[in-house]
Structure formats: C-alpha cells, structure tokens
C-alpha cells in the first residue's frame, strides 16, 4: 500500500508512486562560475537555489487497525497453512480505507529481498528472473489481482433482483439440491437440498437454486445492465497504481447457463477492492464511492494545503432496496450461514463465500467473508480472503470467525459500543 522509493528517491510502487508529485520536493542547486575549462573561479559569488522538502501526505489508514489486522492475517495463514490472506477494511460511507493487508508480505525497508527464497537460490537467479519474482512479490492482491468471488456476489444478484421487483422477501422457493438449466444440472452446495424456503431463507442458506431462479427471472440483458450500473465493469479509481479490471463474458455470449452461474459469483473475475466498493454502495443507500487512502496534503508546519475530493454517484440502487439488503444480510449473520461472525451486542451484516480456483481439478479454494457494522447504519466494511486453506475450507467456518475477531476488537476502538439490549433470538 505505502510502497517504497528507488535509488533516486523516486516512487516505485504504492502511494509513493501515486503521490510522487507531492512527496518528492524540489532538488536544490548551487550555481558556480567557471572558466572555459570548467575550473571554478574564485572570488565570484555563487548562487544557491534552496531545496524544497516534499510535502506530507495524510492517509486514512489507521496504524493500530492496520497492525492488528496484519497480525490476524498472519495468524490465520499459519493456522490454515494457506498460500496467502488478504484483509481490507474501509468506510462504506466515504470510501476511506482503514487497513489493507496482504500476507505473506515483504519488508518495506528491504524491498529487494525475496521472501521464501534462500540467499544462495536468489544469487543463482538471472537479473530478469529476479525482477519477475520481485514484481510478483510486490503485487497488492486487493488491487492488482482478480478472483472469482463466489457466494459473496449473491449480495449483488439479490440487490438487482429486489430492485427490479422480480423477487420479494416473502417469495417461496424449493431446493431439491440442484437446478436444471438447459441441459445442465447445476448443484446447490447442500447435496440433499434446502427444501422449502423463503427468499430471505434462501440468502441465509446461500442456496444456489434460489439465486439461479431469480437470475433467470431477471434475464441476461437486465442482469448485465445492473452489472454495469453497480460499477462492476469499471475500475473503482482507488488511488493506488495497477488496479486490475473485471474479466467478464461478452454480453452476446451469456446464455442461460452462464447467467445461472454468474448469479452465484462464478465464471467471471473481479478485484477485492471492486467487490468492496460495490457492496458498500448497495448497503449505504445506493451511493457509489471511490475507495481511497489519500486524505490531504500538509506543508512542513502541518497546515493543510490541499484536500482530495473523490467521485461519488448516488442512486445506483434505491434507499428502500438498500435498507432491505441490510436487514437480510444482518439475518445471514444472526441466523444464517454467516453466524460465526455474530457478536452479541453488535449488529453485524455479512455474507460468506467458498469458491474453487481454476483449474477445478486442482481442488484449491478461496474462502471469504464480507461483513459490515453497524448493520442498520454501516460505518465499517471488511473483507477477509483466505487463499488455498488446508483442511476445512468453508468461508463460513474459517473466514467469518476472523471477521468476528477483527470487529470485536476494532469496533470499541473506533468508538462503537456494545448495546446490552441486543441479543440473538432463541430459536
């Protein structure tokens, strides 16, 4: 996120690149007078142009939250013997990023040292090989890489279908464990099926047939329209270099099978930051925000000389649908598949996901959870993504508890106190 500078103090990655013009300052100069051979002449006054120090960039990252989240990410990576863990925390109302962590992480003070590579191995690499490995190590997975979101994407499908009126919260469904779409039998994660369920229960159960059904009601054309309207085909504009774009089917190639798989977050890829920004808009009343770190520029005395402004766009979804989504997603945590993120005394909303990476035959998974709090007026949104965990790999089982631990610790720190009246209803 912060990045580092090279031999001439030029920004190489991260904020150091993005805000180079503010940070770099101006070199000073000493002008002397010489003769034709370049020998300095004594007794001629020299001119000095004093150097100007770079300005200070104030960012939204909270040092304590970032450090705590980093520890949590390292802990779960170790426990689950995972390939990596990414965690992103932001304010869904204005897009300010509080923490962004990708482990394993290189040492910012020693950015040319390859992690996980022995000194002797590193010495044997060609310059090109070493540079490729460094570039790989420097990637910010939240921004530079895409993933198949899986079931957290059901937040987006549900919002589009509620907004368009093709489903209501009380609609009844029946899940036999699969749905036939054209010549394909597409399975629910629950082999025996969820049986009879309302739409809300379908979201709580993360039932694939319910989402295929409502997606087919919406149709490919309107599904794609919402995909665009929710910003999913555009970059978020986050103030970090190298944001990756969405990888999506061409509109004319989306048949019923593609549509059905897209409803539950498969067969396309987006970045974590894109996902976080769109979900923020869907729960904040329908305002598309720009995720960012840069807040203001300060001079050497600490006075503000510039305040950054970021693009917002309201009305991507109605206030009413947004409020319905907050309520449904709170119920996912209080009584559904997200219950491992529940904290007594707080209102938490969220959604789990478990997606298989390509090729499917490798049996590698990404477990994730998107959560937000307080559910009725979201001020903090978090994403936890665990790459290739060993053993239990379900998002609800391993990513949701990490989100709970983070919320439990940072919510009081950020000034949100527990409400002793809030208790889960006994069932």
Cβ contact 142:100 at 8 Å: yes
Shortest approach of Zn ion to residue 260 CB, angstroms? 13
Q: Which of 86, 126, 151, 331 is catalytic?
A: 151
Q: Between residues 175 and 275, which has the closer beta carbon with respect to Zn ion?
A: 175
Least Å distance between CB 204 and Zn ion? Answer: 11
Minimum CB–partner distance for residue 265 and Zn ion (Å)? 15
Pick the closer one to Zn ion by CB: 174 or 305: 174
Q: How far is the CB of 121 from Zn ion (least distance, A)?
A: 48
Half-sphere exposure of 20 (CA within 13 A, CB side): 15
Tell me the backbone φ, ψ of residue 229, rounded to 5 degrees: -60, -35
d(CA 291, CA 284): 14
Question: Looking at beta carbons only, is 178 or 310 nearer to Zn ion?
Answer: 178
Q: Name the residue nearer to Zn ion (CB basis): 203 or 238.
A: 203
Based on CB atoms, which residue is closest to Zn ion, 112 or 178? 178
Closer residue to Zn ion, CB minimum distance, 11 or 209: 209
Please, what is the minimum distance in Å from the beta carbon of residue 209 to Zn ion?
Answer: 5
C-alpha distances (whole Å) from 215 to each of 88, 159, 222, 307, 407 are: 29, 11, 9, 42, 32
Pick between residue 96 and residue 197 the one whose CB is nearest to Zn ion.
Answer: 197
In 187-255, where does DSSP find H-type helix? 199-205, 208-218, 220-229
- DSSP line for 144-158: H-EE--GGGGHHHHH
Q: To the nearest whole angstrom, how small is the minimum distance from the Cβ of residue 193 to Zn ion? A: 6
- Other CB atoms within a 10 A radius of the CB of residue 224 amount to 20
Tokens of residue 295, six digits:
């807040």
Which single residue is written with the structure tokens 């949590």?
72
Residue 114 per-residue DSSP state: P
DSSP string, 340-401: GG--TTS--EEEEEEEEPSSGGG--EEEEEEEEESTTS--EEEEEEEES-SS---HHHHTHH
Q: Among candidates 360, 361, 379, 334, which has minimal Cα distance to 150? A: 360
C-alpha to C-alpha distance for 236 and 90, rounded to whole angstroms = 13
- The DSSP 8-state label assigned to residue 327 in this structure reads H
List residues binding Zn ion (CB under 5 A): 175, 188, 194, 207
Q: Which is nearer to Zn ion, 130 or 339 (CB)?
A: 339
User: Which residues have C-beta within 8 Å of that of residue 424, sequence separation ≥ 6?
Assistant: 334, 335, 342, 344
Least distance (Å) between residue 210 CB and Zn ion:
7
The distance of closest approach from Cβ of residue 307 to Zn ion in the complex, given in angstroms and rounded to an integer, is 49
Yes or no: say if 76 and 85 are a contact pair by the CB < 8 Å rule: yes
Question: Would residue 159 show up in a list of annotated catalytic residues for this protein?
Answer: no
**Helices 154-164 and 319-335, packing angle to 10 deg:** 140
**Token output for 124:** 């044997």
- Tell me which residues are annotated as active site: 151
């Amino acid at each position: 996120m912060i990045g580092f500078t090279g031999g001439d103090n030029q920004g190489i990655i991260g904020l150091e690149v993005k805000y180079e013009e503010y940070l770099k300052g101006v070199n000073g100069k000493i002008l002397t007078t010489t003769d034709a051979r370049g020998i300095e002449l004594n007794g001629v006054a020299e001119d000095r142009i004093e150097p100007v120090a770079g300005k200070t960039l104030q960012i939204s990252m909270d040092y304590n939250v970032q450090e705590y989240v980093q520890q949590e990410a390292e802990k779960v990576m170790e426990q689950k013997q995972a390939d990596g863990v990414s965690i992103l925390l932001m304010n869904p109302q204005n897009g300010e990023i509080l923490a962004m962590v990708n482990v394993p992480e290189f040492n910012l003070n020693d950015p040319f040292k390859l992690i996980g590579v022995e000194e002797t191995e590193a010495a044997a690499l060609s310059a090109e090989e070493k540079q490729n490995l460094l570039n790989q190590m420097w990637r910010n997975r939240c921004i530079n890489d895409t993933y198949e979101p899986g079931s957290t994407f059901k937040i987006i499908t549900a919002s589009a279908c509620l907004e368009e009126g093709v489903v209501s919260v009380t609609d009844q469904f029946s899940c036999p464990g699969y749905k036939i779409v054209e010549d394909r039998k597409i399975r629910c994660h629950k082999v025996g099926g969820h049986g009879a369920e309302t739409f809300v229960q379908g979201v709580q159960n993360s039932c694939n047939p319910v989402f295929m059904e409502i997606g087919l009601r919406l149709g490919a054309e309107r599904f794609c329209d919402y995909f665009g309207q929710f910003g999913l085909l555009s970059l978020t504009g986050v103030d970090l270099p190298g944001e990756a774009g969405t990888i999506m089917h061409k509109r004319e190639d989306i048949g019923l099978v593609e549509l059905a798989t897209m409803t539950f977050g498969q067969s396309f890829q987006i970045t974590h930051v894109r996902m976080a920004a769109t979900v923020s808009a869907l729960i904040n009343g329908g305002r598309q925000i720009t995720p960012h770190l840069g807040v203001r520029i300060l001079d050497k005395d600490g006075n503000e000389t510039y305040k950054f402004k970021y693009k917002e766009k309201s009305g991507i979804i109605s206030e009413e649908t947004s409020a319905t989504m907050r309520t449904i997603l709170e119920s996912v945590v209080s009584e559904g598949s997200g219950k491992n993120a529940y904290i007594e005394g707080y209102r938490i909303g969220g959604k789990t996901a478990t997606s298989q990476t390509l090729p499917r035959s490798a049996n590698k998974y990404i477990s994730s959870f998107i959560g937000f709090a307080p559910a009725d007026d979201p001020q903090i949104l978090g994403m936890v993504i665990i790459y290739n965990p060993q053993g239990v790999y379900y998002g609800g089982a391993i990513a949701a508890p990490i989100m709970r631990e983070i919320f439990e610790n940072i919510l009081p720190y950020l000034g949100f106190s527990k409400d002793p009246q809030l208790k889960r209803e006994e069932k």
